Structure 1
Amino acid sequence: MANKVLSLIPQLWFKFGLVRLWRLVPRPLRRRIVARLIPLPKRAGRRLAAPQAPVMMCGFLASPLGLGWSARLTRGLVEEAGVPIRDFDIGHAFATGERDAVLPDASGPATVIFNFNPGQFGYALQFLPDDILRDKYIIGYCVWELERIPDDWLTPLTLVDELWVPTHFVRQAFENAGVKLPIRVVPHIMSAPAGLARDRARFGWPEDAFVATVVASLRSSLARKNPLAAVDAFRRAFPGGENALLVLKLGDSHLEAEALATVRAAIGDDPRIRLLLDTLDNDDMWTLLASSDAVVSLHRAEGFGLVPAQAMLAGRPVVATGWSGNLDFMSEETACLVPYRQIPVEDPSELYVAPDLHWADPDIGQAAAFLRRLHDDPAEREALGQRARQGIETYFRNAHAPIVAAIREWPHATKS
C-alpha cells in the first residue's frame, strides 16, 4: 500500500503544479526532507565479489524517456551475451507513462543493474523487492551532464559495487567527485532500423523544404537542452523568405507547463517554426530523424547525446555543441561542431545546481552559419551525413564486441 501511495506522488506533483511550490523550497532543505522521508536501505547478506548470471535489470524499461532508451539498450547487450535476465520495470513510480508491473522473484545470488542515477536509488528501492540488495553484485548504470556529480550522490553509491557510464565525460564527472569504484564506459550501442526511410507525409512537412529538427524532453531542463538557441540560430540563418522549417519535438510538455510557455513565447507567430508535442514510439522517432535535413543540438551539456547519435546512424548531419559526452562519437569530420564559451551553470528548474561548475554556451552565429551551409549545399549535406553514419557505426562496432564478450564470461550462480 505504501508503494502505491508513493507512486502517486510524482503524478500528482506535476498534475496539480505542486512541483512549482516544491521548487520554492531551498534545495538543501529539499534534500534533507527527502532523505528523512525516504531513507536509503542497507544492503543485506553478502556482497558478491564479481558479477554473475542471472541479471536483474531495474529501470524504466518501457519508457520513451532517455533513461528508458538507456535501460533497453543495456538490456540488449546482456541479452546478446546469452545471460538470463529478469526485468524489474518501475517506470510507473516516476510518472514516465507505464502501468504498475508485477515484478519477478529477486532472491538468490545475481547481478543487479540499476538503470537510474544515485539520487533516485532510495525512492526506486521502495518499489523493488527487499531481496534485490541481498547476495548480489550491484552495477549502477548512471549518467550525468556536468563535470562533477552532486555530493549527495556519494552516500547512495555505497550500495554499488561497480559503475557503468556511457562516455568518458561521465566517468570523469564521477572521478572528479572522488569516486573510487570500478568504472566502465559502456556506450548506448544501437543501430538504425532496417529499411529506415524518409516519410515527411507522416508529420505533414513539405517535401521541398529544408527541415532542421530539435528533439528534447522538457523534463531534462530547458536550460541544459537549450532549444531556444536553435530558434535563434534558425532565424539568423534564414532571415528572408527561404524555404526552411524548424521543428521542435518536445517531450513531456504536459508535465512542464512553464517551460512550454517559455518556448511558445520565443517562437511567437513564426509559421516556419513548428512544435511537435506528440509522444512518438521508437519507429516514429527514427522516421522523424530520417525525414530531417539536419538535426540540431545546441546543448549546454550532454552525458551522451542519444538523439545526435541516432541522427548520425540515420545518415543525417548534426549541428551540435562541441563539448561534453557527445565528443566520444563526434569529430569535426563527422559533425558540425559548434564552438562555445564556458559559463557558470544556471538552471531555473534547479535540476542542475552547481554554482562552482561551468557548462557550454554555444556560438549562435556559428550554428547559424552551419545551418545556412547545409541548406545551400545539398551535396555537402549528403556527404556529411554519410561520414556521420560511417563514423558512429565504427565507434559502436569497436565498443560492442569487448563489452558483450565480458558479460558472456560472467559465471552462472550456483546454489548455496
Structure 2
Amino acid sequence: MAGEFSRSSGLGEGARLMVRALRDMNIPCGTWDIDQRVLAGDVTGPGAPLVMHVNAPMLPYVQLFMPRTLRTGRRIIGYWAWELPVVPQTWRHARRHVHEIWVPSHFTAGALRPLGRPVRVVEHPVGLAEQKPSGRDRASFGLPEDCVIVLVSFSLASSMVRKSPIETIQAFREAFGERSDRLLVLKIGHTEHYPDDLATVRAATGGASNIRIETEQLSGEDRLALTVCADIVLSLHRSEGFGLVVAEAMALGQCVIATDWSATAEFLDETCGLPVAYTLVPAQDPRGIWEMPDTKWALPDLAGAVKALQTAADDPALRSRLGANAKHRIATRLNGATLREAALAVGARL
C-alpha cells in the first residue's frame, strides 16, 4: 500500500483505513509512505499487488521515487477519488501507469470508467475499522455543556466552495439567529495556506457570538472526539467522492444532515439521517480545480437545510434514533466486504 500515511488528509486517512481493515482480515499488508519514502509493515510476497492511494495526476511522479522492486513485477492499482461526474484531461495520462482502478463510491466509478481501465468500487471500510475517539470532552475543547452544537468539519485544501461554508453559515443564522443555546462550530483545516478563504468565512459569520471557527490541528483521535461532542454533524457539500466526515460521524452514532447528492447519498438517507434537497448548477470554483465545461454539482436547498437544522435541534429523541440507525447503516454497509472481495480478486492471500 502506497499513500500519504504521515499526512492529515482524506487520501491519507483512506490509506490508513484500508491497511487497518486488511490486517483485521488477516491479509498481510506492507506500506510505503510517499513522503518519508519508508517501507514498513507486514512482509509480503514479491508479486503482491500494489495499491497506490495517490490521485492520477501525481501517480506517475510518485512512482519515480519508489524502489524498482515495488513497482515492477506486480499488479498496480490506483485508488482514486474524484468529486465530479467527469474527470479532467490531466487524469487520462495516468491510466497507462495502472492495471486497474479502485474507487470509494459508485459516483466516482461513473466518472472514471471512460478512462478505459477496469474500475472496481472498493468503499472505505469505516464500519470495520474500529473508531477510537480520545477521551476529550466538551470542556477540554472549550465548548459549553448547555447548548445544541452543530459541527461542520472540512479542509480548505479541498476547495472552500465545494464544502459550502458560506451557505452553511447562512442556514445556521436563519435557523437560530443569535440564540445562545445553539452553537455552530466550524472546524477548518489547512487554513495557513488559504488566508483569503479563511477571511471570507470569518466575514460571513458577522461576528455572531454563537458561531466559532476552530483551526487547531487535531490528531485523528481528537478529531473523532470533537465529533462525539457535537449533537449534529452538518455537511452542505456540493459534491463528494465519498464523504469521510459524514461516514465517520454516522459510525459514531451521530445525527447527520447532508446534501442528498453524490457519494454520501449512497449510504445516507431519511432512515438514518436528514438529507437536504438540492438543485444541480454549473460547477464554478474560483481556484479552477473543480470547474470544467458542462459539468454540474449540487447547490443545497437553503430552506431545506434550515428546516432540517431546526427539526434536529428541537428533537433529541429524533437525533438519538437517527444516530443509532446511522451507526447500524455504516456497520453493515461499509463493513469491508468490497475490500475483501477486491483483495482476493487480485491475488491477496489470507
TM-score after normalising by structure 2 = 0.92
Structure with bigger gyration radius: 1
> Which residue identity is paired with 2:119?
I
Give the equivalent residue in structure 1 for 2:21: 77
Alignment of 1:94-133 (within 5 A): 100-103=36-39, 108-133=46-71
Confirm or deny: 8 A CA contact 1:294 1:319 kept in the other structure: yes
> Which residue identity is paired with 2:253?
G
Deviation sequence 1:375-405 (CA, Å, 0-9, x none):
11111121111121122222123xx235325
Query: Among residues 121, 125, 130, which one is paired with 1:189 in the alignment?
Result: 125
Distance in structure 2 (CA, Å) of the matches to 1:195 and 1:130: 38
Give the equivalent residue in structure 1 for 2:283: 345
* 1:155 counterpart SS class: helix
Confirm or deny: 8 A CA contact 2:103 2:123 kept in the other structure: yes
> Which residue identity is paired with 1:136?
R
Alignment of 1:7-156 (within 5 A): 57-90=1-34, 92=35, 100-103=36-39, 108-156=46-94
Confirm or deny: 8 A CA contact 2:53 2:78 kept in the other structure: yes
Distance in structure 1 (CA, Å) of the matches to 2:58 and 2:143: 39
Confirm or deny: 8 A CA contact 1:58 1:89 kept in the other structure: yes
Distance in structure 1 (CA, Å) of the matches to 2:18 and 2:191: 27
Cα-Cα RMSD: 2.2
Distance 1:381 1:411, change over 3 A: closer
Cα displacement (A) at 1:76: 2.3
Confirm or deny: 8 A CA contact 1:115 1:142 kept in the other structure: yes
Gapped runs of 5+ residues in structure 1? Answer: 1-56, 93-99
1:262 aligns with 2:200: yes
List structure 1 segments (4+ residues) > 6 angstroms apart after TM superposition.
Answer: 104-107, 195-198
Cα displacement (A) at 1:85: 2.6
* 1:302 counterpart SS class: coil
Give the equivalent residue in structure 2 for 1:275: 213
> Which residue identity is paired with 2:206?
G
> Which residue identity is paired with 2:100?
E
Deviation sequence 1:182-220 (CA, Å, 0-9, x none):
211111112453687772112111101110000001000
Confirm or deny: 8 A CA contact 2:184 2:212 kept in the other structure: yes
Confirm or deny: 8 A CA contact 2:108 2:241 kept in the other structure: yes
Higher relative contact order (CA 8 A, sep 6+): 2
Cα displacement (A) at 1:343: 0.7
Confirm or deny: 8 A CA contact 1:197 1:291 kept in the other structure: no
> Which residue identity is paired with 2:214?
L
TM-score after normalising by structure 1 = 0.78
Confirm or deny: 8 A CA contact 2:37 2:66 kept in the other structure: no
Cα displacement (A) at 1:108: 4.3
Alignment of 1:247-396 (within 5 A): 247-396=185-334
Distance in structure 1 (CA, Å) of the matches to 2:161 and 2:15: 25
* 1:110 counterpart SS class: coil
* 1:360 counterpart SS class: strand
* 2:173 counterpart SS class: helix
Cα displacement (A) at 1:363: 0.6
Distance in structure 1 (CA, Å) of the matches to 2:262 and 2:46: 39
Confirm or deny: 8 A CA contact 2:3 2:52 kept in the other structure: yes
Cα displacement (A) at 1:80: 3.1
Confirm or deny: 8 A CA contact 2:49 2:346 kept in the other structure: no
Distance 1:352 1:196, change over 3 A: same
